[in-house]
């Protein structure tokens, strides 16, 4: 099967790339939305997908969750169950964009790239990596409290952004995201095990941070997204409901971000030496502006 990371443009009919500045306007965030993100560290309930797009991605997800899928080797990481609790399941994988047309093309979703550019300060947007997170009904595992950038310090400067998109309705019952508003102002914290103890991060917080630790649930309809700052403290509880909670995450950074490591940045990706720009086959430019 072809490695779709070799193609840096839309390859299906799921999305249409705007041809004029006027066509881009429908996707722009308001000034109030951008201001909210800057103050609180997140912006939720942004519709990115319609029913047709959701259904295609669900079908593709079902196929590639099978570890015997013929393109499984293209994943940078593939964990049928990353949960630290043997009674829970958390499917987590990186690299779906290399395998299926739908997960490839969501990177070039006009609604996504426009919002991402605005939230990055109207800068060109470059791809970092994608993730799949799936919590099955009744025994889906947790994602512990964490900051995304604590796992990404091999790149810099800090000018990253995360976008979480549900393929199912996300509720408190089935393990939706929780954010700690304004925690993006706390600075970089030590990182816990991502699928380990839900409260593992608490040992790294100051007394003041613990007092400010007031998580709020981010319940979203399927096809809707939540964007968050790379230092936003967030996590999600177990799914004990009768409904699955499937989602994908697209991580990006502003163009000009550099490698800060001489080691492999993602499994299977050629080394980008420290101090060199993040670019090339695996880190394409998604949006240069209008």
Asked if 96 and 206 count as a contact pair (C-beta separation under 8 A), the reply is no
Q: How is residue 263 written in tokens?
A: 């080691």
Statement: residue 196 has pLDDT above 90? no
Q: How far is CA 129 from CA 83, 158, 233, 263, 266, in A?
A: 21, 15, 19, 16, 9
* Confidence category of residue 84, pLDDT binned at 50, 70, 90: confident
Confidence class of residue 278 from pLDDT cuts 50, 70 and 90? very high
| pLDDT reading at 1 higher than 90 | no
Instruction: For residue 218, give Cα distances in angstroms to 51, 92, 197, 210.
Output: 21, 20, 21, 20
The reported pLDDT for the residue numbered 276 is 98
- How many angstroms separate the CA atoms of 101 and 262, rounded? 31
Inter-residue long-range contacts of 26-29, CB under 8 Å, 24+ positions, other chains counted: 27/110, 27/111, 27/114, 27/115, 28/114, 28/118, 29/114, 29/115, 29/118, 29/119
- Give the CA-trace dihedral at 275, 94, 191, 205, to 10 degrees: 110
Half-sphere exposure of 158 (CA within 13 A, CB side): 15
pLDDT in tens, 103-128: 999 999 999 999 999 999 999 999 99
Confidence of residue 166 (pLDDT cuts 50, 70, 90): very high
How much is the pLDDT for 86?
Answer: 81
Residue 93 has pLDDT above 90, yes or no: yes
Model confidence at 3: pLDDT above 90: yes
Q: What average pLDDT does the segment 7-22 reach?
A: 97
Q: Is the pLDDT of residue 275 over 90?
A: yes
- When the pLDDT of each residue in the chain is averaged and rounded to a whole number, the result is 97
Secondary structure class of 121 (helix, strand, coil):
coil
What does the pLDDT average to over 33-51? Answer: 98
The architecture (CATH level 2) of 36-66+79-254 comes to Sandwich (2.60)
Checking if the pLDDT of 83 tops 90, the result is no
Q: For residue range 43-58, what is the model confidence (pLDDT) as tens digits?
A: 999 999 999 999 999 9
Fill in the DSSP letter of residue 167: S
**d(Cα 113, Cα 107) in Å, to the nearest integer?**
8
pLDDT digits over 202-230, tens only? 999 999 999 999 999 999 999 999 999 99
Residue 131 has a pLDDT of 98
For residue 110, give both structure tokens. 């006009």
- Tens digits of per-residue pLDDT, 232-270? 999 999 999 999 999 999 999 999 999 999 999 999 999
Q: What was the pLDDT predicted at 192?
A: 87
- Domains of the chain, residue spans: 36-66+79-254
Does this model's pTM top 0.85? yes
How far is Cα 126 from Cα 219, in angstroms, rounded to an integer? 28
Q: What are phi and psi of 272, to 5 degrees?
A: -105, 115
Query: Could you tell me the two tokens for 109?
Result: 């979703």
C-beta neighbour count of 284 within 10 angstroms: 18
CA angle 134, 248, 169 (to 5 degrees): 70
């Amino acid at each position: 099967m072809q490695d779709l990371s070799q193609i840096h443009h839309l390859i299906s009919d799921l999305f249409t790339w705007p041809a004029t500045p006027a066509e881009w306007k429908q996707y722009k965030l308001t000034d109030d939305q951008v201001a909210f993100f800057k103050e609180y560290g997140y912006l939720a309930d942004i519709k990115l997908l319609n029913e047709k797009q959701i259904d295609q991605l669900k079908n593709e997800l079902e196929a590639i969750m099978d570890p015997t899928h013929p393109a499984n080797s293209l994943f940078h990481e593939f964990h049928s169950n990353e949960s630290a609790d043997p009674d829970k399941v958390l499917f987590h994988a990186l690299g779906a964009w290399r395998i299926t047309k739908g997960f490839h093309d969501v990177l070039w979703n006009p609604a996504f790239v426009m919002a991402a550019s605005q939230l990055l300060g109207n800068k060109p947007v470059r791809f970092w990596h994608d993730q799949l997170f799936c919590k099955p009904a009744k025994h889906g595992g947790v994602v512990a409290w964490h900051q995304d950038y604590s796992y990404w310090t091999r790149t810099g400067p800090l000018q990253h952004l995360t976008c979480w998109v549900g393929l199912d309705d996300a509720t408190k019952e089935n393990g939706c995201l929780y954010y700690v508003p304004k925690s993006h102002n706390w600075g970089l914290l030590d990182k816990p095990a991502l699928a380990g103890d839900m409260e593992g991060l608490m040992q790294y917080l100051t007394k003041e941070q613990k007092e400010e630790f007031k998580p709020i649930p981010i319940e979203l309809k399927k096809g809707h997204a939540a964007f968050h700052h790379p230092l936003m403290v967030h996590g999600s509880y177990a799914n004990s409901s009768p409904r699955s909670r499937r989602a994908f995450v697209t991580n990006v950074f502003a163009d000009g971000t550099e490698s800060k490591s001489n080691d492999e940045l993602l499994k299977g990706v050629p080394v980008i030496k420290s101090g060199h720009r993040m670019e090339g086959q695996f880190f394409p430019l998604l949006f240069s502006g209008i």
